[in-house]
């Protein structure tokens, strides 16, 4: 009976679908275990073999936990809003919904082929109205909330209004906009409705504000920092500029400290935690005010080194700082405006990364030192960011390398002063940036102090003259939440006299309207401005500004859409109760599943997605909708599977293509080659297929310079990508070798969290292993399995494997499990094992890794139903305890033979048996040894 993976895998995929084998229950006496993958964006390219890596790992754990008796939730869905589908729609005119559904269908087909134990009853798609209805609802809750610092959580905005009505805002301790005007209860109660709304916007957790954004004219939208590479858009490579726009923002900064402290309570890698800490960027210091000369205005600076206040040599503002245009002198106006325009073309990320370029312009303005009253020149420089701190730096060159380089670069220009040294250290070659090991000098009342004492005393002095105070600051900025796109969640908002109002929740969802084109309108409105009608709750509404239609006043709707991270910031909770039509999830389902036990996904989401998800989860917990503070207990970032690219080598005139071994000393250019035209094992180019391939039509008349009659391509490990033509389709592997082979091979490549190259040549070994496993159970005549009692060696091999695989799954070390499977099968084959007591548990322990073959083996062994919930075998130590020892028997230190003896024999008993052995008698040849050395369990040596 032969192993035919095609029939076996198709049979069991059909069985799992029909029997709903992996459907999780929200009401179970079993302990729960929630395994989650970061859900994919369904691109038109489909999956390559790198994509399933994390899914296979999570599936192994999910299946293992089912074997252990857990009620396992292992769902899957699609992050289906996004810019790529919209760009494709702009190019082709095809609706993004159409292409998204086609792409999802392709993904589903590929995912099913690999045999994942997903509960497809809980599938979510962020672009479906029945999903984003709840995203809109969460947005409304954020709008109707404020952050109370006293209770350290979000509360309903009605509680804030109640305080205003009774006390005004003098005692309110809230996260809010800067410089909120104070008012009494009487003044609040006398305010108009519109005045009250404007004030409340300064406190709401989602609010409208003029914000510096990354504007991409080519795409007609705002981009997040992680959507920009080297100053251009990741999608399309369009230039990106910094621009001020009125945008919706999320007050994530309110949660900065909780996001930071929460990292102590979750099982994530230290590298991911550190990424989050750096993004949050907590720093303790002081806020200092520097008055501007001849002005009532002042520059506010946050510094972590107030002890260095007497070392301030100049000040630097971000080019976007609101004061720049106000304080620039007429003589410096042209230079400043040119610099500001140039800076707008560089992204924040690019400016932060560029530590080598020194650039800046003097504004012509001066500030006043808080204590000495000396004039301090004010410059602008692109190394200062408007979104970090206050967008202003008090430059202390003697204590900061970047300030030091800036001061030296512009030395003698526009009144740049000499560097002031306030440390008892030499700064002739470099700044002294340490926080210890110095005494302050040239620092008035701080002379002789160190960092801690100097910081404390300087803050006290600043507070005394009302020009500063101690403060904890965070790098984390409020998140811009508006996008000028079509393919995203519509906001549930409209405007009355320019002030935002939330649409009544009973009308949700606000359905994304149809438009004729997906570009901004002619007057610059977002694409939704092209919509003639909108729909919600089966009601059609014309988008007309303040017009009466059928005696109903219709107000303008919000035309921006939400960003891609809106739907992905809460999706794990929707999986808990995906069919619920009235709530995002019921209280009962949320209480049962709590949060995600294991989350697996790529490290590219180490900051943005994880921070936003944790923020929304904490907010929903504050408002009583989520049961836990943190969404993901344990997080693992899988590494990449890298592609093995292939190259041909083109001569300068493109008339010759040299085989790899003939390129030495020749000026050639490597050209990526599609893997479909090479033999992936021998690396030989199929020349005729290459000539016929549409990508290489330019070379159909080229001369191919061969080595030994063949054209051998070059190979190089790179990121797997369509642009490098090194993508391997998992469908091809499943068709040729089987899904179980693909699953085992991807795990076998190396540790889950490391990057590793794909090599199709290595997959044949794993395929051969499965055939060898099959032959333990079957020969050409059918099932071989017997009910006889296995030998001790058979039990030993099985239990070594149970122990190893159990430990490996618990430690997510899947690659070494595959090695152990191979060792075990080889051992059992050598032992000619066909014993049920060994082969039944073996099928169960391999089931998480190779589920199709395991199901078939289990069925052929005479069992009904699926193997998926059969109890996982338990390791028993007794089978690994050695009862016998094969001793080497040596004569004068030279080993002559071995003898197997029970380990519980005493030394005299061992000596008696050895001395009576015929082989010993032959070696001694009548002689009596001078000494017999016996170490129980180790050696036997006869001397003399």
Angle among Cα 297, 301, 305 to the nearest 5 degrees reads: 145
Cα(100)–Cα(487) distance, rounded to whole angstroms? Answer: 10
> Which of 299, 367, 377, 363 minimizes the C-alpha distance to 333?
363
Cα(887)–Cα(900) distance, rounded to whole angstroms? Answer: 6
CA trace torsion 214, 322, 398, 430 (10° rounding): 30
**Do residues 216 and 258 lie in contact, with contact meaning Cβ atoms separated by under 8 Å?**
no
Report whether the peptide linkage leading into residue 509 is cis, meaning its omega lies within 30 degrees of zero: yes
Kindly tell me if the per-residue pLDDT of 883 is higher than 90. Answer: no
Q: Is 4 left (phi over 0), alpha (psi -120 to 50) or beta?
A: beta
Q: What would the pLDDT profile of 567-601 be if each residue is shown by its tens digit? A: 999 999 999 999 999 999 999 999 999 999 999 99
How much is the pLDDT for 556?
86
As separate numbers, helices (DSSP H) first and strands (DSSP E) second, the chain gives: 28, 39
Cα(234)–Cα(285) distance, rounded to whole angstroms? Answer: 36
CA trace torsion 295, 297, 302, 308 (10° rounding): 20
Cα(61)–Cα(56) distance, rounded to whole angstroms? Answer: 9
Cα(555)–Cα(648) distance, rounded to whole angstroms? Answer: 62
**Do residues 310 and 446 lie in contact, with contact meaning Cβ atoms separated by under 8 Å?**
yes
Q: What DSSP assignment string belongs to 904-935?
A: T--HHHHHHHHHHSHHHHHHHTT---SEEEEE
Confidence of residue 352 (pLDDT cuts 50, 70, 90): confident
Confidence of residue 885 (pLDDT cuts 50, 70, 90): confident
Q: What percent of the chain has pLDDT over 70?
A: 98
Q: What would the pLDDT profile of 668-715 be if each residue is shown by its tens digit? A: 999 999 999 999 889 999 999 999 999 998 898 899 999 999 999 999
Q: What would the pLDDT profile of 749-805 be if each residue is shown by its tens digit? A: 999 999 999 988 889 999 999 999 999 999 988 999 999 999 999 999 999 999 999
How much is the pLDDT for 655?
87
How much is the pLDDT for 543?
44
**Do residues 801 and 821 lie in contact, with contact meaning Cβ atoms separated by under 8 Å?**
yes
- Neighbouring CB atoms inside 10 A of 452's CB total 11
Q: Which residue has the tokens 């292992």?
A: 74
Pairing of strands 703-705, 939-943: unpaired
Ordered strands of the 635-638 beta sheet: 71-73, 32-37, 598-602, 635-638
> Which of 885, 889, 888 minimizes the C-alpha distance to 924?
889
Percent helix / strand / coil, the chain, rounded to 5: 40, 20, 40
- Is 688 buried (19+), middle (13-18) or exposed (0-12) by CB count in 10 A? exposed
Cα(33)–Cα(282) distance, rounded to whole angstroms? Answer: 34
- Tell me what the mean pLDDT of segment 233-259 comes to: 89
Per the prediction, the chain carries an average pLDDT of 92
Q: Pick the more confident residue, 10 or 554.
A: 10
CA atoms within a 13 Å half-sphere pointing along the CA-CB vector of 70? 18
Q: How far is CA 474 from the centre of its chain?
A: 22
Q: Is 524 left (phi over 0), alpha (psi -120 to 50) or beta?
A: left
Ordered strands of the 241-250 beta sheet: 221-223, 206-216, 241-250, 479-480
Contacts of 864 (CB under 8 A, 6+ apart): none
Confidence of residue 261 (pLDDT cuts 50, 70, 90): very high
The token pair that represents 609 in the structure block: 């997605």
Cα(615)–Cα(570) distance, rounded to whole angstroms? Answer: 10
How much is the pLDDT for 548?
39
Alpha carbon distances (Å) from 395 to 292, 378, 392 = 16, 10, 9
Cα(587)–Cα(583) distance, rounded to whole angstroms? Answer: 9
Q: Pick the more confident residue, 884 or 509.
A: 509
Helix, strand or coil, per DSSP, at residue 283? strand
Q: What would the pLDDT profile of 788-804 be if each residue is shown by its tens digit? A: 999 999 999 999 999 99
> Which of 883, 935, 941, 886 minimizes the C-alpha distance to 907?
935
Helix, strand or coil, per DSSP, at residue 27? coil
Helices (H), 812-939: 814-830, 836-846, 851-860, 907-916, 918-924
How much is the pLDDT for 540?
47
Cα(435)–Cα(454) distance, rounded to whole angstroms? Answer: 11
Cα(616)–Cα(298) distance, rounded to whole angstroms? Answer: 36
Kindly tell me if the per-residue pLDDT of 307 is higher than 60. Answer: yes
- Do you know the residue count of the chain? 944
How much is the pLDDT for 250?
97
Kindly tell me if the per-residue pLDDT of 539 is higher than 60. Answer: no
Cα(399)–Cα(570) distance, rounded to whole angstroms? Answer: 44
The token pair that represents 49 in the structure block: 């073999």
Helix, strand or coil, per DSSP, at residue 139? helix
The token pair that represents 528 in the structure block: 């939704």
Confidence of residue 536 (pLDDT cuts 50, 70, 90): low
How much is the pLDDT for 552?
54
Cα(836)–Cα(709) distance, rounded to whole angstroms? Answer: 54
Q: What would the pLDDT profile of 612-641 be if each residue is shown by its tens digit? A: 999 999 999 999 999 999 999 999 999 999
Kindly tell me if the per-residue pLDDT of 938 is higher than 50. Answer: yes
Contacts of 276 (CB under 8 A, 6+ apart): 259, 260, 263, 606, 607, 610, 611
Contacts of 626 (CB under 8 A, 6+ apart): 573, 590, 617, 620
CA atoms within a 13 Å half-sphere pointing along the CA-CB vector of 474? 17
Helix, strand or coil, per DSSP, at residue 747? helix
Q: What is the DSSP letter of 97?
A: H
Cα(306)–Cα(287) distance, rounded to whole angstroms? Answer: 9
How much is the pLDDT for 775?
97
Lowest mean pLDDT among 195-204, 236-245, 612-621: 236-245
Alpha carbon distances (Å) from 919 to 215, 913, 929, 939 = 89, 11, 14, 16
Q: Which residues pair with 533 in a beta bridge?
A: 542
How much is the pLDDT for 546?
42
Strands (E), 465-619: 468-474, 479-480, 493-496, 499-502, 510-511, 533-536, 539-542, 547-549, 552-554, 598-602
Contacts of 198 (CB under 8 A, 6+ apart): 499
Q: If DSSP states are collapsed to H, E and C, what string results for 657-715?
A: EECHHHCCCCCEEEEEECHHHECCCCCEECHHHHHHCHHHHHHCCCEEECECCECECEE
Kindly tell me if the per-residue pLDDT of 226 is higher than 70. Answer: no
Cα(877)–Cα(803) distance, rounded to whole angstroms? Answer: 9
**Do residues 576 and 587 lie in contact, with contact meaning Cβ atoms separated by under 8 Å?**
no
Q: What would the pLDDT profile of 420-467 be if each residue is shown by its tens digit? A: 999 999 999 999 999 999 999 999 999 999 999 999 999 999 999 999
Kindly tell me if the per-residue pLDDT of 542 is higher than 70. Answer: no
How much is the pLDDT for 360?
95
The token pair that represents 521 in the structure block: 């309108």
- Neighbouring CB atoms inside 10 A of 489's CB total 25
Cα(190)–Cα(198) distance, rounded to whole angstroms? Answer: 14
Helix, strand or coil, per DSSP, at residue 637? strand
Q: Pick the more confident residue, 531 or 824.
A: 824
Q: What would the pLDDT profile of 910-926 be if each residue is shown by its tens digit? A: 999 999 999 999 999 88
Q: What would the pLDDT profile of 370-413 be if each residue is shown by its tens digit? A: 999 999 999 999 999 887 778 999 999 999 999 999 999 999 88
How much is the pLDDT for 744?
98
Burial letters for 284-297: b for 16+ Cβ neighbours within 10 Å, e otherwise? ebbbbbbbbeeeee
How much is the pLDDT for 221?
76
Cα(585)–Cα(122) distance, rounded to whole angstroms? Answer: 12
């Amino acid at each position: 009976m032969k192993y035919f993976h095609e029939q076996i895998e198709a049979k069991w995929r059909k069985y799992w679908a029909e029997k709903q084998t992996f459907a999780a229950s929200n009401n179970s006496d079993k302990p729960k275990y929630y395994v989650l993958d970061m859900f994919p964006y369904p691109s038109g390219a489909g999956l390559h073999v790198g994509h399933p890596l994390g899914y296979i790992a999570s599936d192994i754990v999910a299946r293992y936990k089912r074997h252990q008796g857990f009620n396992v939730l292992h769902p899957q869905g699609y992050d289906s809003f996004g810019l790529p589908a919209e760009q494709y729609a702009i190019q082709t005119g095809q609706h993004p919904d159409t292409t998204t559904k086609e792409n999802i269908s392709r993904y589903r087909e590929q995912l099913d082929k690999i045999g994942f134990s997903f509960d497809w009853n809980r599938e979510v798609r962020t672009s479906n109205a029945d999903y984003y209805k709840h995203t809109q609802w969460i947005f409304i809750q954020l709008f109707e909330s404020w952050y109370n610092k006293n209770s350290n959580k979000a509360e309903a905005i009605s509680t804030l209004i109640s305080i205003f009505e009774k006390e005004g805002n003098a005692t309110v301790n809230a996260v809010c906009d800067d410089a909120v005007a104070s008012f009494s209860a009487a003044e609040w109660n006398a305010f108009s409705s519109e005045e009250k709304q404007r004030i409340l916007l300064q406190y709401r957790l989602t609010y409208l504000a003029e914000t510096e954004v990354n504007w991409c004219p080519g795409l007609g939208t705002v981009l997040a920092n992680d959507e920009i590479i080297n100053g251009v858009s990741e999608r399309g490579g369009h230039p990106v500029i910094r621009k001020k726009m009125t945008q919706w923002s999320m007050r994530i900064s309110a949660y900065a400290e909780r996001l930071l402290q929460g990292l102590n309570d979750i099982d994530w890698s230290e590298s991911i935690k550190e990424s989050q800490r750096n993004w949050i960027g907590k720093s303790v210091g002081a806020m200092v005010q520097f008055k501007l000369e001849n002005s009532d205005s002042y520059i506010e600076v946050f510094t972590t080194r107030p002890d260095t206040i007497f070392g301030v040599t100049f000040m630097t503002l971000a080019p976007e700082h609101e004061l720049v245009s106000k304080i620039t002198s007429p003589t410096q106006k042209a230079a400043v405006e040119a610099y500001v325009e140039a800076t707008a073309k560089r992204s924040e990320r690019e400016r932060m990364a560029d530590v080598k370029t020194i650039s800046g312009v003097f504004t012509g303005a001066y500030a006043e030192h808080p204590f000495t009253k000396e004039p301090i020149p004010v410059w602008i420089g692109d190394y200062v960011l408007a979104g970090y701190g206050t967008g202003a730096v008090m430059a202390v060159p003697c204590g900061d390398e970047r300030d030091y380089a800036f001061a030296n670069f512009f030395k003698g220009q526009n009144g740049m002063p000499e560097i002031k040294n306030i440390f008892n250290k030499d700064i002739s070659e470099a700044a002294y940036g340490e926080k210890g090991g110095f005494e302050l000098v040239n620092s008035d009342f701080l002379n002789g102090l160190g960092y801690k004492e100097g910081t404390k005393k300087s803050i006290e002095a600043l507070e005394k003259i009302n020009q500063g105070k101690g403060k904890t600051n965070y790098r984390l900025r409020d998140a811009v939440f508006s996008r000028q796109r079509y393919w995203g969640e519509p906001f549930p908002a409209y405007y009355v006299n320019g002030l935002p109002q939330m649409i009544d929740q009973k009308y949700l969802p606000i359905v994304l309207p149809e438009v004729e084109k997906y570009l901004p309108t002619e007057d610059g409105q977002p694409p939704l401005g092209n919509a003639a009608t909108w729909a919600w709750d089966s009601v059609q509404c014309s988008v007309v500004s303040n017009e009466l239609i059928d005696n109903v006043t219709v107000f303008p709707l919000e035309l921006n859409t939400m960003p891609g991270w809106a739907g992905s910031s809460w999706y794990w909770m929707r999986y808990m109760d995906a069919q619920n039509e009235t709530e995002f999830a019921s209280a009962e389902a949320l209480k049962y599943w709590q949060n995600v036990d294991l989350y697996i996904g790529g490290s590219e989401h180490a900051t943005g997605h994880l921070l936003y998800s944790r923020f929304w989860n904490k907010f929903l917990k504050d408002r009583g909708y989520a049961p836990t503070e943190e969404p993901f207990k344990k997080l693992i970032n899988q590494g990449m599977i890298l592609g093995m690219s292939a190259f041909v080598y083109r001569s300068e005139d493109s008339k010759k293509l040299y085989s790899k071994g003939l390129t030495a000393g020749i000026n050639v250019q490597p050209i990526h080659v599609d893997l479909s035209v090479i033999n992936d094992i021998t690396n030989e180019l199929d020349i005729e297929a290459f000539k016929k391939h549409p990508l290489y039509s330019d070379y159909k008349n080229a001369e191919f310079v061969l080595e030994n009659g063949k054209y051998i391509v070059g190979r190089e490990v790179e990121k797997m990508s369509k642009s490098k033509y090194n993508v391997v389709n998992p469908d091809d592997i499943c068709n040729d070798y089987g899904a179980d082979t693909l699953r085992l091979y991807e795990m076998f490549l190396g540790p889950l969290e490391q990057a590793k190259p794909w090599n199709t040549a290595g997959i044949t070994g794993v395929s051969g292993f499965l055939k060898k496993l099959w032959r333990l159970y079957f020969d050409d005549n059918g099932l071989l399995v017997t009910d006889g009692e296995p030998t001790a060696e058979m039990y030993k091999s099985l239990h070594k494997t149970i122990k190893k695989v159990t430990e490996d799954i618990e430690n997510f070390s899947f690659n070494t499990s595959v090695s152990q499977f191979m060792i075990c099968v080889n051992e059992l084959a050598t032992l000619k094992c066909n014993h049920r007591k060994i082969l039944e548990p073996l099928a169960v322990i391999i089931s998480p890794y190779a589920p199709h073959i395991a199901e078939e083996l289990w069925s052929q062994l005479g069992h009904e139903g699926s193997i998926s919930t059969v109890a996982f075998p338990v390791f028993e130590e007794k089978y690994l305890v050695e009862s016998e020892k094969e001793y080497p028997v040596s004569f004068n230190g030279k080993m002559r033979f071995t003898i197997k003896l029970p380990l519980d024999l005493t030394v005299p008993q061992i000596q008696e048996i050895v001395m009576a052995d015929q082989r010993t008698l032959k070696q001694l040849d009548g002689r009596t040894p001078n000494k017999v050395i016996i170490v129980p369990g180790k050696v036997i040596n006869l001397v003399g």
